[in-house]
Structure 1
């Protein structure tokens, strides 16, 4: 009896010891602000919507007003990302052209802090001649098609991010970003077809940035998208995957 009981005690001890680490909430930082979108609504929708999928504590930095070239003061701290398990980039500063500034951001992610990149993050810093930001994103994009309702077709159904995603989802009114390049370590999970040129473009993907997990989607322009449960689900699963949960 003692011989049978001892392995059970060891198993219970291992489970008890592991539980606290798994029960800790994900510490997420949301960087948002800039041109062209209702970032207050998006921040509220994201932070509330993710609650259905996991325990996440949020720090939200919304700076830059409607500017296209604002700077986030937090990035001046070389340890800006260390308190967080994942950073969500949902900012829109397309006209800021300063590679030294951008490398303060990418260095933190290259050092191991995962990220989620949404919509206008792909056009942020698009004037840069250097590709540091684009390699981090996993895609290169400088323009988008007109607003429409776009069918989203999964191309990788077995990835954890895509669990529960419908066979076909049609977005609310949104913008299709034209992806010029999918970087070598990025993997498209879903695509949409342009009504303008008939080509398919990645709209949901994952990227391996020097060993760091990055999840991205180009959708997320208007409030109707941010109110859609399918959209919030894919962003939430992407965030949890990036954070290793």
Structure 2
């Protein structure tokens, strides 16, 4: 696959988000703005054969066990060689039985309260995924809780202000979006993106664009 492409992977064996089609279209638009074409697939065999030379791979609300042994090895080799990974929302509910994927993503999903408005706190504005945001970002989402905070192992970009919504379970240390280079290449993850409406939101689209551009070492 050409380095002028990104691959959006959307396979689910657990809960399937209604927002996946809108997410694919958003990444087609965002990738086009970066001079990239976008291929979307549900086939793990494509991951096993098409990552070499790919500019970025996006796991868009994947869920459950979605990879084969061959595609796992291809993803690991891709990251080790400096490849770019972007995880969106339910990507954190994926491949629970593969410890390396947890390292790639940064944290594992635990639970979430009901979909509701809340506020994300911008911890780091020196990143293209958050540079456009004010210090507090009102948003409507599921406000994922994670099994453990990844802070200390990743660069935290956004966190949840649990006082602004009901049902938060992580307390004061509740990262929502982060990035790192712990597995060889660049990895960006955002917990936001549950609703189809999110992918039409200009601020959220710029958040995704900045994360993609950073991971793929491109200028947004």
More strand by share: 1
Q: Does 1:214 align with 2:187?
A: yes
Deviations 1:145-196 (A, max 9, x none): 2211121111112223322122221113x11111223064311111013332
Structure 2: gaps (5+ residues) = none
Please show how residues 124-203 of structure 1 align to structure 2 within 5 Å. 124-126=94-96, 128=97, 130-172=98-140, 174-179=141-146, 180-182=148-150, 184-194=152-162, 195-196=166-167, 197=169, 199-200=171-172, 201-203=174-176
Specify whether residues 46 and 96 from structure 1 end up closer, same or farther in structure 2 by C-alpha distance, changes over 3 A only: closer
Which residue matches 1:102?
A: 72
Q: Does 1:40 align with 2:7?
A: no
Contact map agreement 2:44 2:68 (CA 8 A) in 1 = no
Query: Which structure's relative contact order is higher, taking Cα pairs within 8 Å and 6+ residues apart?
Result: 2
Change (3 A) 1:59 1:83: farther
Structure 1: how far apart are the matches of 2:151 and 2:120?
20
Rounded Cα–Cα distance in structure 2 between residues aligned with 1:182 and 1:27:
30
Distance change (3 Å), C-alpha of 1:184 and 1:103 = farther
Give the SS at the match of 2:144. strand
Report the CA distance shift for 1:102/1:144 in structure 2 as closer, same or farther (over 3 A): farther
Supply the distance in 2 between the matched residues of 1:132 and 1:164 (Cα, whole angstroms).
32
Q: How many pairs are equivalent?
A: 208
Distance 2:113 2:68 in 1: 27
TM-score (norm 2): 0.83
Counterpart for residue 205 of structure 1 = 178
* RMSD, matched Cα: 2.5
Could you tell me whether the CA contact under 8 Å between 1:139 and 1:186 is conserved in 2? no
Aligned to 2:200: 227
Asked whether the equivalents of residues 123 and 141 of structure 1 are also in contact (C-alpha less than 8 Å), the reply is: yes
TM-score (ref. length: structure 1): 0.75
